[in-house]
Structure 1
Amino acid sequence: MLKKFILAFSLATFSAGIVFAKGINKVPENLSDAEKLNGLSLYWKEVSYNFAFFDQVPELDFDTKYQEFIPRVLATQNTYEYYRELKRLNAFLQDGHTNIYYPKGMSSSYVDWPAIRLAEAGRKAVITGVEKGLESHIPPGSIIVAINGQPIEAHLKEQVMPYIASSTQHILWNTAVRDALDGKPGSMAQLTIETPDGATKSIEVKRDARGRKIEYASIKQPASNGELFEFKWLENDIGYVALNGFHDEAIVAQFKSHYDEITKSKGLIIDLRFNGGGNSAYAGEIISYLTDRDLPGSVWKTPKHVAAYKAWGSFADQFEDLEEYRPYAEGASWEFSEDSGDIVEPKLDSNHIVPTYVLIGRNTASAAEDFLVYADSLEHFTTVGEPTYGSTGQPMIVDLPGGGTFRVCTKRDTYPDGREFVGYGIQPDILVERTLDIVRSGEDRVLDRAFIDLKSTITSSAL
C-alpha cells in the first residue's frame, strides 16, 4: 500500500498546523531587501513548478501576482509584516495544503485575542464561551454583528479571509470566524453583539488571552475526548469508535486491542469529525477489518517536468512532430500513479460487517478523507454530518528567510473513478448542517441522528 505522509495540522481547532524550520531560536526584527526578495522568489518558483491545483483557480495569473507582491514585501517594516504579505499572496491559491508558516514564536509578539470562544454557523460568528464572570455581560449564544463598527461579514472578507489558505468556502468561513478577533496584544476591540433574547448591545474586550489559564462559561460543543482513540457502548448494542487522528501509528494498535469487543456490536458508529489526518496507511489498516471486499484508494497525479521536453514543446507551433511535448512547455504535463490506486484488502475472513454510520464534518481532513474514499463502495457504511475539509495531498516543505517555512501541495488525489473531492469536500449521505439553533443548544445532533437511524436499521433487520 502506498503510504502518504501528510504533515499533521490541527484541524480540530484549525490553527492549521505550524511547521517550523529546525534550529531557529531568534527571529530577526526585519529582513534585508535581498532576503525578502529571495524568499518571495523561492516561494514563487516552487509553487510555479510544483503546485497541483492551478486549474481550480483559473482566474489567477500567478506570475502577475508575484510581480505585484515584489513592492509589497519590500515595503514591509518588520519580519511579521513580511510573512503576512506572503500569507496574503499564498491565499490566492485557495489550497489547504499549501501554506506559509511564521517563524517559531514570532506571532506571540504580534497577535492576541480576547477570552472569547467562537463557532461558525450559517456564516454567523457565534459566541460559545466567555471568561467566567463575563457571561452576564456577554451571554454565550450571542452572535457578533460588528467589529469596530464594521459589519462582521465585511470585516471577515476584508481583514481576515485575505490571509487564509483554504480549499473550500465552508472552511474559509470556519477559519475566518475562528480568527475574527485576533489583533495586536493588549489592544481593545469594540463588538456589537446580538444576545440570544434578541437584544443588541455594544461591548469592549481586550486582547489578552494568550498564555493565560482561563476558565470559561461555555455552551458545550461536540468534541473529541482528547485522546487518539475512544471506544464505548451506546444503547441497543451499538458500539461507538472515535478515530481522532491518523498521525500516530498507536491508533492502529488501540483499534486492534478493542477489535474483539467491537465485533460484539450489532451496529457501529465511527466518529471522524475531529480527525485532521496523518498517514493514510493507518486509515487503510483500520478499515481492512471492516470490509468484505477489496477497497481501492485514491488515485493521484503530480506535475511533471522534463527540461528538454519543455524546450522541444516551445517549438511545437513550428514543428508538428514536437506537438507531443507542448504540455511540458505549457506546464500541463502530469505524472500519474502507476496503477489504479492502492488497494486495501480484507484483513480477516470473518471481518466485522454490520450497519456502520460514519460521522464526518468540517474537521475531517486529509488522511481521514482518504478513509472515506476507501469506504465509498461499502453498502453497510453511511456517512452523516457536514461536508469534510476538502484537502489532501503531499506537501513539500521549504525553508524561508527569518526561520519560517512554506509548503506546496504537489500531488492531486481523486476517487478511483476520477471524482474530485479536494476543493469541494466529501459530501455526507445524510446532511446535518451546523445551525445557530444547534450551536446554542449544545446538542450533538450528528451523533443523535446517526444513533436514531442506526437503531432503526438494526430493529428493521431483526424483524
Structure 2
Amino acid sequence: MFIRICLFLVMLLSGGVQAQSRISAEERLFGLAMLWKEASYNFAYFDQVPDLDWDATYQAFIPKVLAAKSDYQYYKVLKQFLATLNDGMSYVQMNHELRNKHNALPPIMLAEAEHQAVVVGISETLASQLPLGSIITHVDGVEVKDKLQQEVFPFISSSTEHIRWHEGIKGNQGLGYGLLMGQVGTVVKVRFTTPANRAGHLSMIREADLSGVAWQLASGVMANTHSVVHKVLADNIHYVALNDFSQDSVTEQFIKLLPQLQTANGLVIDLRQNRGGNTFVAESILKYLTFHDLLGISSKMRIHNSTYKAWGKYADQFSWAKKYQDYSSGNAWLKNAPDTLRADDIDKSNKVVVPTAILTSRETSAAAESFLVYASSARHIMLIGEPTFGSTGQPLEIDLPGGGRATICSKRETFADGRDFVGIGIQPDVYVPRDIEYYFSKHDKTLSSATEWLGKQGELAQATASNMH
C-alpha cells in the first residue's frame, strides 16, 4: 500500500502539471499549504463560516491544484479555496502577466439592481445595438443567475451577499471574476431585454484594455474624478464628497473648506464612492465634526503560544491546564479597547458641528467604514443610503509561487459595544434601496433623503428657538 501511494504521488507531481505551466507541482502544493497555514493561525472570522471544515477543505483542494492545466487555472483554484472563507479582505491575486492575458471584458458596463444585470455603460459603437437600461438575461446561453452561481460566485471573496451580487455582475478585472469576464480576444454572447421590452442578442469581443473606449453612460453612474468635491445646495446646506481617504491631501482640502462650511445650516458628507485608504485620514477629518469624544472600533486578534498550546491539550486531564485550553483550540485572543477619537484635539472655533447626513453605499468600505463607526455614535449625525461593503481588518500579505499574492484578514473589528458589521455591512439609519432608476434618474434619491432630513432638523431648531423666546 505504501508503494502504491508513493507511485500515485509521483504520477501526480510529474504528470498532473501540464507543459504550459511554469509553476511546478511542488510549488503548487506549497502555495496552497501557505494559504491553509496562515489562515489556520491568523484568520479572524472562522466563526462566521461555522459549516466550513478548513482542514478538510485544504485536503479536498490538493488534487485540484495538481490537476489544474495551467498557471492561470492553478490561481483560479487558489482563489476558489480562499473564497470559502467568505471574507472580503481574504483573497488571491494572480500576477500581472496572467491577469493581462486572461482577464478581459467586452466594452460594456454592468451594474446590479434587484439582482438583475443592468447595462449602465456601452461603447458608442455598440450603443444602437444594446441600449442603456437593457437587462442582460443570458450569457453564452446560460441564464444570468445560473452563470453567477456556477461560474462567478465561487471565486469571489466576500462576507456579504449584496457585495457578492454587486461584484459578480459588475466584474473585477484585477481579481479576475465577473459575469462577462473571459480571456482576451474571446467572444461573449449575451441575450437581453431592452427598456422597451424588446428581446435582443449581441456578440462582443473581450478586450484587455478599455481605456480608449468612448462610452455612453447612464446619468446616475458616478465618476470618481476628485478626492474632494464641495458645493452649496438649497437652504444653505453644504455638500462635501470625500471619495477616498488614501492621501493626507484629503484632510488638507477639507480644512481649506472649513470657513465656508462653518456658515452652513446643515452638512452632507458623501462617502458613497469611498473605498477607504488610511484610517488616520478618516479620523483627522471627523475630529472637526464633533464637540464630544467618539468611540470607534473594538478589535481583537488571535494569539499563539506554543507552550500554552501544548499544555492546553491536557485540559481534560488536569484542572491546571484548563486555562490554556483556548490556546490548543486556536481560540485565544488579544483584545483591544475601543479606539477613542478625542474631540479636544481640535479647537472648538475650527469645528463644523451642525446637523450632518452621511451618505453610504455598498462601495463604502475599509477606512470609510471606520469613519462611520465613529460617526454613528454622534447624535447630530444620520447615516442615509445602503448597507456598506461589510469587510475590514488588517490584511496579512502572502507571496505566492508564480509572482501572485494573497491576503488573509488577521484582525477582527466590531463596534465598541461588540456588534458586528463585517458580514452584514454598517446599516444606515435611513435605507434608500438601489433600484434600476438609481442609475438612470437625474434625481438622487439618497441625497434628497438627506436634504429632507436636514430640512426637518432646521425646522425643529427654529421651533425650539421660538419657544425659548
TM-score by length of 1: 0.91
Match of 2:114 among 112, 122, 125: 122
Contact kept? 1:39, 1:401, Cα under 8 Å: yes
Other-structure match for 1:16 = none
Distance 1:34 1:174 in 2: 36
Match of 1:93 among 66, 78, 85: 85
Distance 2:338 2:190 in 1: 53
Deviation at 1:443, TM superposition (A): 3.7
Distance 1:203 1:103 in 2: 31
Contact kept? 1:246, 1:283, Cα under 8 Å: yes
Q: Residue 138 of structure 1 aligns to a residue in which SS?
A: coil
Spell out the pairing of 1:355-366 with structure 2 (5 A cutoff): 355-366=355-366
Other-structure match for 1:6 = none
The amino acid across from 1:387 in the alignment is P
Contact kept? 1:272, 1:368, Cα under 8 Å: yes
Contact kept? 2:220, 2:438, Cα under 8 Å: no
Distance 1:442 1:137 in 2: 24
Distance 2:365 2:259 in 1: 28
Q: Does 1:407 align with 2:381?
A: no
The amino acid across from 2:254 in the alignment is F
Other-structure match for 2:317 = 318
Q: Does 1:73 align with 2:65?
A: yes
Other-structure match for 2:43 = 51
Which region of structure 1 is more displaced relative to structure 2, 263-272 or 434-443?
434-443
Deviation at 1:457, TM superposition (A): 2.7
The amino acid across from 1:434 in the alignment is R
Q: Does 1:192 align with 2:184?
A: no
Distance 2:317 2:459 in 1: 71
Q: Does 1:112 align with 2:120?
A: no
Deviation at 1:437, TM superposition (A): 2.9
The change in CA–CA distance for 1:33 and 1:442 in structure 2 (over 3 A counts) is: farther
Spell out the pairing of 1:393-404 with structure 2 (5 A cutoff): 393-404=393-404
Other-structure match for 1:267 = 266
Q: Residue 363 of structure 1 aligns to a residue in which SS?
A: coil
The change in CA–CA distance for 1:127 and 1:33 in structure 2 (over 3 A counts) is: same
C-alpha distance after superposition, 1:308-359 (max 9, x if no partner): 000000111111210111111111111111x343333242223221110100
Q: Residue 257 of structure 2 aligns to a residue in which SS?
A: helix
Contact kept? 1:296, 1:344, Cα under 8 Å: no
Other-structure match for 1:42 = 34
Distance 2:194 2:104 in 1: 24
Gap regions ≥5 residues in structure 2: 1-19, 171-177, 464-469
Aligned length: 435
Deviation at 1:439, TM superposition (A): 2.5
Which structure has more helix as a fraction of its residues?
2
Distance 2:435 2:462 in 1: 35
C-alpha distance after superposition, 1:415-440 (max 9, x if no partner): 11111101110011111110023323
Distance 1:212 1:358 in 2: 32
Other-structure match for 1:379 = 379
C-alpha distance after superposition, 1:217-239 (max 9, x if no partner): 22122425411112221121111
Other-structure match for 1:437 = 437
Contact kept? 2:358, 2:383, Cα under 8 Å: yes
The change in CA–CA distance for 1:455 and 1:325 in structure 2 (over 3 A counts) is: same
The amino acid across from 1:458 in the alignment is G
Deviation at 1:456, TM superposition (A): 3.6
The change in CA–CA distance for 1:222 and 1:266 in structure 2 (over 3 A counts) is: farther
Using CA pairs under 8 Å that are at least 6 residues apart, name the structure with larger relative contact order, 1 or 2.
Answer: 1
The change in CA–CA distance for 1:224 and 1:267 in structure 2 (over 3 A counts) is: farther
Distance 2:224 2:64 in 1: 44
The change in CA–CA distance for 1:222 and 1:133 in structure 2 (over 3 A counts) is: closer
Other-structure match for 1:343 = 341
Contact kept? 1:145, 1:192, Cα under 8 Å: yes
Structure 1 consecutive aligned stretches of length 4 or more whose deviation exceeds 4 Å? none
Other-structure match for 1:5 = none
Contact kept? 2:268, 2:357, Cα under 8 Å: yes
TM-score by length of 2: 0.90
Contact kept? 1:222, 1:444, Cα under 8 Å: no
Deviation at 1:460, TM superposition (A): 4.1
RMSD: 1.5
Match of 1:149 among 136, 141, 154: 141
Distance 1:297 1:404 in 2: 34
Q: Does 1:419 align with 2:419?
A: yes
Contact kept? 1:222, 1:442, Cα under 8 Å: no
C-alpha distance after superposition, 1:265-322 (max 9, x if no partner): 1100000111111121111111111101111111100011100000000111111210
Other-structure match for 1:17 = none
Contact kept? 2:293, 2:340, Cα under 8 Å: no
Deviation at 1:186, TM superposition (A): 1.5
Other-structure match for 1:228 = 227
Contact kept? 2:101, 2:208, Cα under 8 Å: no
Deviation at 1:208, TM superposition (A): 2.5
Distance 1:328 1:37 in 2: 27
Distance 1:451 1:222 in 2: 21
Identity of aligned residues (%): 40
The amino acid across from 1:391 in the alignment is S
Other-structure match for 2:280 = 281
The amino acid across from 1:423 in the alignment is G
Larger CA Rg, structure 1 vs 2: 2
Other-structure match for 1:3 = none
The change in CA–CA distance for 1:358 and 1:407 in structure 2 (over 3 A counts) is: same
Contact kept? 1:115, 1:209, Cα under 8 Å: no
